Chains A and B, each alone.
Chain A
């Protein structure tokens, strides 16, 4: 069954801790994206990767890091430098035509 998997669904973190969100896809799509969603602000792009071993900063990359060692995987690390990390995080892929993006189910991160 093709799709995008994000884990965990809920994540709790203490202030000052780094945490990694997982995103895996078996759609064979080249491009992958991470978005942050806050109430009333829509989706904001954190990082994206168009090919393995390459990625670019989005609009709000500060305090986040990513890697793209495999086509199927694009993990996002929320570092302690991110001042307000509590949000809903969405991973997406792009099959390469017309920017049509497909989304995973999301991870809700809460900083305690």
Chain B
């Protein structure tokens, strides 16, 4: 069965520092991979996605993620974090069943 693991429940960084959020998945074939962001009390917004091709994908708000098949990972990165990036981040994996499996999320706190 598919699964997604986000090992970090809560991360705190200073504004301007770099960021990496970890995501590991379990799936037999090449998965469809997503990162979503959620502000408190809001819905989820898609940051970026990977289907095939170039393993480094660019998203909105200056985020990028790299698909590493050998490590079953899809980590999210940003070179310089802004205070407005404070939110909860979810990694998700999909296959050919029209469903997504979500990780439990990583809460990002940004200090000025």
Of A50, A58, A98, the residue contacting B49 (CB under 8 A) is A98
**B42 within 8 Å of A by Cβ?**
yes
**A43 within 8 Å of B by Cβ?**
yes
B100 CB contacts on chain A under 8 angstroms = 99, 101
Given contacts A41-B104, A100-B34, contact A106 B42 (CB under 8 A): yes
B42 CB contacts on chain A under 8 angstroms = 105-106
| B residues 46-102 touching A (CB-CB < 8 Å) | 46, 49, 51, 90, 94-95, 98-100, 102
| A residues 12-48 touching B (CB-CB < 8 Å) | 31, 33, 40-43, 45, 48
Do residues B98 and A31 form an inter-chain contact, with CB atoms below 8 A?
yes
Query: Taking chain A's interface residues, is the majority helix, strand, or loop, or is none over half, making it mixed?
Result: strand
Given contacts A43-B90, A98-B51, contact A103 B43 (CB under 8 A): yes
Do residues A50 and B98 form an inter-chain contact, with CB atoms below 8 A?
yes
Instruction: Bin chain B's interface residue count.
Output: 20 to 34
Given contacts A99-B32, A106-B43, A108-B41, contact A42 B102 (CB under 8 A): yes
**A104 within 8 Å of B by Cβ?**
yes
| A residues 86-112 touching B (CB-CB < 8 Å) | 88, 90, 92, 94, 98-106, 108
| B residues 8-57 touching A (CB-CB < 8 Å) | 9, 32, 34, 36, 41-46, 49, 51
| A residues 47-83 touching B (CB-CB < 8 Å) | 48, 50, 58
With A and B bound together, what is the CA distance between A40 and B88 in angstroms? 11
Q: Which residue of B lies closest to A90 (CB)?
A: B43
Do residues A99 and B46 form an inter-chain contact, with CB atoms below 8 A?
no
B94 CB contacts on chain A under 8 angstroms = 98-99
Supplied contacts A33-B99, A100-B49, 10 more A-B pairs, CB within 8 Å: A6-B43, A42-B90, A42-B104, A43-B44, A48-B98, A48-B99, A90-B43, A92-B44, A99-B34, A101-B46
Spell out B's residues near A (CB within 8 Å): 9, 32, 34, 36, 41-46, 49, 51, 90, 94-95, 98-100, 102-105
Please list the 5 inter-chain residue pairs (A to B) with the smallest Cβ-Cβ separation, ordered nearest first: A99-B94, A103-B43, A42-B104, A103-B44, A43-B102
